[in-house]
Amino acid sequence: MALSKKPVTGMKDILPEEMKIRDYVIGVIKETYGKFGFTSIETPCVENIENLTNKQGGENEKLIFKILKRGEKLNLEAAKEEKDLVDGGLRYDLTVPLVRYYSAHANELPTPFKALQMGNVWRADRPQRGRYRQFMQCDIDILGEPSNLAEIELILATTTTLGRLGFSGFQIRINERRILKAMAAYSGFAEESYDHVFITLDKMDKIGLEGVEAELLEDGFAKESVDKYLELFRGMEASENGLAYLAKKLGDFLDEEVRESLQEIMESVNSTKSADFELVFDPTLVRGMSYYTGTIFEIAMPQFGGSCGGGGRYDRMVGKFTGNDVPACGFSIGFERIILLLMENGFKVPSQPEKAAFLIEKGVAKEELCKVIAAAQEERKSGTQVLVVRMNKNKKFQKEQLTKDGYTTFREFYKDPLK
Amino acid sequence: MALSKKPVTGMKDILPEEMKIRDYVIGVIKETYGKFGFTSIETPCVENIENLTNKQGGENEKLIFKILKRGEKLNLEAAKEEKDLVDGGLRYDLTVPLVRYYSAHANELPTPFKALQMGNVWRADRPQRGRYRQFMQCDIDILGEPSNLAEIELILATTTTLGRLGFSGFQIRINERRILKAMAAYSGFAEESYDHVFITLDKMDKIGLEGVEAELLEDGFAKESVDKYLELFRGMEASENGLAYLAKKLGDFLDEEVRESLQEIMESVNSTKSADFELVFDPTLVRGMSYYTGTIFEIAMPQFGGSCGGGGRYDRMVGKFTGNDVPACGFSIGFERIILLLMENGFKVPSQPEKAAFLIEKGVAKEELCKVIAAAQEERKSGTQVLVVRMNKNKKFQKEQLTKDGYTTFREFYKDPLK
């Protein structure tokens, strides 16, 4: 039987050109985050299925690649439903594994613990252009830091990295789950309908304020609540300092400390940033994951429609594993989108080594071959990339191909040394 | 329900200390192989189940983590056996995916194609100390190079890398599948029993020549054949040049070209190598994978019982995908064993950046906070790793912990600047 040449549906092979860019970007990310005191860690790609299906992951839990039990544990005849057949799954993000990791190893880790994770995640999403079922995520997280120093450091580290990769003129949008809730409470929505309201609010980018208004009314919410809610957004747009306006309007619905902390994050970041971007308050920012408890943020690139990454505070997730909550905050870069943008802009990896090709005619004597290889070894020591290959019959074509591949120096070795 | 803190059975979390070493080793590997003209590529971790179960992988095919079909494709009631339930599996090595990749993309790749792959593979082996069900493999392969230049470059590149990582005094054992076969044919074993004979021969390390003799006789092979076979090994041990002795003995059973090529590989490598090791002919080397067609080799480290990596020529695997064979040869480093050896020897990553910690008392004014963060940003620009953290109540203990973690400079910032 002939074998299938294609990768599995929705996943992709990475060709050398893209790989060069990926390796370079990974290097920049590791170096930059390292300067901020983040240390690399890794967790297995497979997690216990129970950990992946405990409602922390929202919609992603529907997209898990599940792993069949093995050996005696697999009892096909007795299996009544899917969960009888599987014991593991491929991780759909790096946050659930990180929290499990921290819960297991907290005693061996510093406080606060600043983690950098770069790894693949899998989601059985409908395949579409530029979106794959296996993709790299790049997360930084700070565990054990209750103050907004976590948010400030995360945003500075992420934006410094983006700046070093050549990105500029972008925005970081920031919001607070507690502001979202205060706005809904102030407007008179019932607490159990908050999530419904936020899902509609999240469409603001696409359907605008009027669209949100129409959808809320259509979904049967009281006109009075919808009016009050929309008035908040309209008033804010017209005011100079949106956050101050909102805090005043919301009054006791919003804890004063929430506003102060958010204000401090924005001022410290905007006054110490090293990249060209702006951190702006955006009360329409929702973010889907159900585990967020405080600040939430997202990268908006002008060149790219959707979000290029995001994160937030999730102070109650460690408690699901250990029974004791630990403050936690993270920021994830949309690694694949970054790569896509760089490739589309014809990005070239800086400072590549000199490339030389040694072409050896077939039949060259053993002693001569040894000399050629020794010469290649010498050049490699001095930093040159040396390819030692057999000379093709069509040497001209071979050299043209090598030139295309970046080789600039050629040396030729013949069976008859006088040639 | 409390969640499980442990990683899945047989897989491991990687702590920061080990991760530092891994990142360093990965860097050295990529740089060194790069100098030899190998380019990084990546394939998805999941492969079509048919590609993984076509008998190329030998025993590893019994150890596959299989992935459940999703959505409508999964029909639990109609499923009669395991294969009705699954459509993918986690790769058990990097060779099968590489060959699939090459078959799909040959038109976009140079000839010869020199690939470097570093990635995780999965095998549902019985868990044991130092052996995990997810582990990193590091393979280099040359596709499209029929001559022994492939073997020479693979062995030089691999050993140069090992040398740069501080390994010395090791051996590369080399053999040829065609020599193995010629020895069996000369001794009069039937062709269909070769594999059986080789499996026994492979135990030489553990049971010695007498053990191999006893087992072959016990398994019912003719005494005459066993005697003839054993005599070859004994005669070789006593002779000065084992390969020459063998070639003479085997006569027409062995193609002259096989001996010449092997001789040339050994001489060129031994005369141009940059690391401290020896390449030696070892007629007892078998290597399990059924896809090898020519030379086979293995790294033997004195500090480590088993093999630390290996490889060989597999000229007929691309043909399984495309119908047309392409010469191919690869060398895989036992990445996890290398890391284990380095950790056991107390290896320290060279040239780490200066580490400074800025401790900020709680309640420091916003303006002061901005100044501290700006100062941290400046120091980071000049290459220092700066950790900005809240000052704990027990500052002494906090600084002790940070010192343990490698921080050498401390700066403290108080609410009352006169403090």
Provide, rounded to the nearest whole percent, the portion of chain B with pLDDT above 70. 99
Helix, strand, coil in percent for chain A, rounding step 5: 45, 20, 35
Mind listing the pLDDT tens digit for each residue in B88-104? 999 999 999 999 999 99
- Joined together, the tokens standing for residue A396 give 């001209």
Give the H or E element holding residue A309. strand A307-313
CA distance A128 to chain B (A): 17
Q: How far apart are CA B231 and CA B209, in angstroms?
A: 10
Of B13, B19, B30, the CB nearest to A40: B19
Facing residues of B242 across strands? Answer: none
One-letter amino acid for residue A110 of the chain: P
- Whether chain B has a CB inside 8 Å of the CB on A105: the answer is yes
For residues B11-20, average pLDDT: 96
Q: Give A85's contacts in chain B (Cβ within 8 Å).
A: 68, 76, 85
Better-scored residue on pLDDT, B353 or A28: A28
Please, which residues have CB within 8 angstroms of residue A362's CB and are 6 or more apart in sequence?
A: A390, A391, A415, B147
CA distance A4 to chain B (A): 7
- Whether chain B has a CB inside 8 Å of the CB on A66: the answer is yes
Q: How far apart are CA B402 and CA B356, in angstroms?
A: 9
DSSP string covering A25-85: HHHHHHHHHHHTT-EE-B--SEEEHHHHTSSSSGGGGGG--EEE--GGG--TTT--SGGGT
- In chain B, where the domains are located: 9-167+301-352, 171-277, 355-413
Reported residue count of chain B is 419
Homologous superfamily in CATH for domain A9-167+301-352: Bira Bifunctional Protein; Domain 2 (3.30.930.10)
Q: Give B76's contacts in chain A (Cβ within 8 Å).
A: 79, 81-82, 85
Nearest Cα residue to A68 out of B84, B120, B71: B84
* Chain B stretch 191-250, residues whose beta carbon is closer than 8 A to a beta carbon of chain A: none
Q: What's the pLDDT score for residue B43?
A: 98
ipTM score for this prediction: 0.92
Contact A88, A46 (CB under 8 A): yes
Contact A39, B405 (CB under 8 A): no
For residues B391-417, average pLDDT: 91
Mind listing the pLDDT tens digit for each residue in A337-383? 999 999 999 999 987 889 999 999 988 988 899 999 999 999 999 88
Mind listing the pLDDT tens digit for each residue in B16-50? 999 999 999 999 999 999 999 999 999 999 999 99
What is the pLDDT of chain B when averaged over all its residues?
A: 92
Give the gyration radius of chain A's Cα atoms.
27
Of B54, B377, B383, the CB nearest to A3: B54
Q: How many CA atoms lie within 13 A of A174 on its CB side?
A: 29
Burial degree of B77 (CB within 10 A; 0-12, 13-18, 19+): exposed
| Residue A130 in this model has a pLDDT that exceeds 80 | no
E strands, A158-218, are 170-176
The model's confidence at residue A229, banded by pLDDT at 50, 70 and 90, is very high
Q: Is B377 helix (H, G, I), strand (E, B) or coil?
A: helix
| Residue B286 in this model has a pLDDT that exceeds 80 | yes
The model's confidence at residue B81, banded by pLDDT at 50, 70 and 90, is confident
Edge to edge, the sheet with strand B277-281 lists: B39-40, B113-122, B134-143, B328-333, B307-313, B295-300, B170-176, B277-281
CA distance A414 to chain B (A): 15
CA distance A211 to chain B (A): 33
- Joined together, the tokens standing for residue A198 give 């936020």
8-state DSSP, B59 = G
Q: What's the pLDDT score for residue A210?
A: 94
Q: Give B47's contacts in chain A (Cβ within 8 Å).
A: 7-8
Q: How far apart are CA A115 and CA A48, in angstroms?
A: 21
CA distance A126 to chain B (A): 11
φ, ψ of residue A299 in degrees (nearest 5): -95, 125
Query: Which chain A residue has its CA at the smallest distance from B146's CA?
Result: A390
CA distance A218 to chain B (A): 32
Q: How far apart are CA A364 and CA A378, in angstroms?
A: 20
Q: What's the pLDDT score for residue A62?
A: 86
8-state DSSP, B14 = B
For residues B107-115, average pLDDT: 94
For residues A124-135, average pLDDT: 87
Q: How far apart are CA B263 and CA B117, in angstroms?
A: 29
Instruction: For Cα atoms A376, A381, A387, give the angle at the middle one, nearest 5 degrees.
Output: 35
Q: What's the pLDDT score for residue A66?
A: 97
Q: What b/e sequence results for A279-309 when a residue is b if at least 16 CB atoms lie within 10 Å of its CB, and e otherwise?
A: bbbbbbbbbebebbbbbbbbbbbeebeebbb
Give the H or E element holding residue B102. helix B95-105
Q: Is B42 helix (H, G, I), strand (E, B) or coil?
A: strand
Q: How far apart are CA A195 and CA A346, in angstroms?
A: 41
Contact A380, B61 (CB under 8 A): no
The model's confidence at residue A418, banded by pLDDT at 50, 70 and 90, is low
8-state DSSP, B354 = P
- Joined together, the tokens standing for residue A327 give 């403050």
Q: How far apart are CA A127 and CA B371, in angstroms?
A: 47
CB pairs under 8 A between A and B: 297
| Residue B378 in this model has a pLDDT that exceeds 60 | yes
E strands, B306-369, are 307-313, 328-333, 355-360
Q: Is A299 helix (H, G, I), strand (E, B) or coil?
A: strand
Q: What's the pLDDT score for residue A305?
A: 73
Q: How far apart are CA A376 and CA A386, in angstroms?
A: 6
**DSSP alpha helix (H) spans, B188-295:** 194-201, 204-218, 223-238, 242-250, 256-272
Give the gyration radius of chain B's Cα atoms.
27
Contact B28, B165 (CB under 8 A): yes
- Whether chain B has a CB inside 8 Å of the CB on A75: the answer is no
Q: Give B267's contacts in chain A (Cβ within 8 Å).
A: 366, 370
Query: Which chain A residue has its CA at the smallest distance from B136's CA?
Result: A44
For residues B67-72, average pLDDT: 91
Q: How far apart are CA B330 and CA B142, in angstroms?
A: 6
Q: Give A44's contacts in chain B (Cβ within 8 Å).
A: 7-8, 11-13, 134
Nearest Cα residue to A395 out of A371, A419, A379, A373: A419
Helix, strand, coil in percent for chain B, rounding step 5: 45, 20, 35
One-letter amino acid for residue B12 of the chain: K
Q: How far apart are CA B177 and CA B182, in angstroms?
A: 9
Which of B6, B8, B12 is most worth mutating to test chain A (most A CB atoms within 10 A of its CB)?
B8
Q: What is the pTM of this model?
A: 0.93
**How many of the other CB atoms lie within 10 Å of CB of B188?**
14
Please, which residues have CB within 8 angstroms of residue B296's CB and are 6 or more apart in sequence?
A: B174, B175, B176, B177, B285, B286, B287, B310, B311, B312, B313
Mind listing the pLDDT tens digit for each residue in A151-189? 999 999 999 999 999 999 999 999 999 999 999 999 999
Query: Which chain B residue has its CA at the smallest distance from A52's CA?
Result: B3
Burial degree of A90 (CB within 10 A; 0-12, 13-18, 19+): buried
The model's confidence at residue B127, banded by pLDDT at 50, 70 and 90, is confident
Contact B36, B153 (CB under 8 A): yes
Q: How far apart are CA A378 and CA B209, in angstroms?
A: 42
Q: What's the pLDDT score for residue B307?
A: 85
What is the pLDDT of chain A when averaged over all its residues?
A: 92
For residues B383-398, average pLDDT: 92
Contact A318, A303 (CB under 8 A): no
φ, ψ of residue A392 in degrees (nearest 5): -80, 165
Q: What's the pLDDT score for residue B9?
A: 94
DSSP string covering B112-125: SEEEEEEEEEE--P
Edge to edge, the sheet with strand A409-413 lists: A385-390, A355-360, A409-413
Query: Which chain A residue has its CA at the smallest distance from B324's CA?
Result: A2
Helices and strands of chain A, counted as H and E runs: 14, 14
Q: How far apart are CA B323 and CA B314, in angstroms?
A: 15
Straight-line distance from the first to the last Cα atom of chain B, in angstroms, rounded to the nearest whole number: 49
Nearest Cα residue to B102 out of B87, B117, B90: B117
Q: How far apart are CA A300 and CA A337, in angstroms?
A: 12
The model's confidence at residue B418, banded by pLDDT at 50, 70 and 90, is low
Which of B1, B3, B48, B360 is most worth mutating to test chain A (most A CB atoms within 10 A of its CB)?
B3
Mind listing the pLDDT tens digit for each residue in A34-80? 999 999 999 999 999 999 998 777 778 889 999 999 988 888 888 88
Nearest Cα residue to B383 out of B351, B348, B349: B351
| Residue A325 in this model has a pLDDT that exceeds 60 | yes
Mind listing the pLDDT tens digit for each residue in B308-338? 999 999 999 999 888 899 999 999 999 999 9
Q: What's the pLDDT score for residue B131?
A: 84
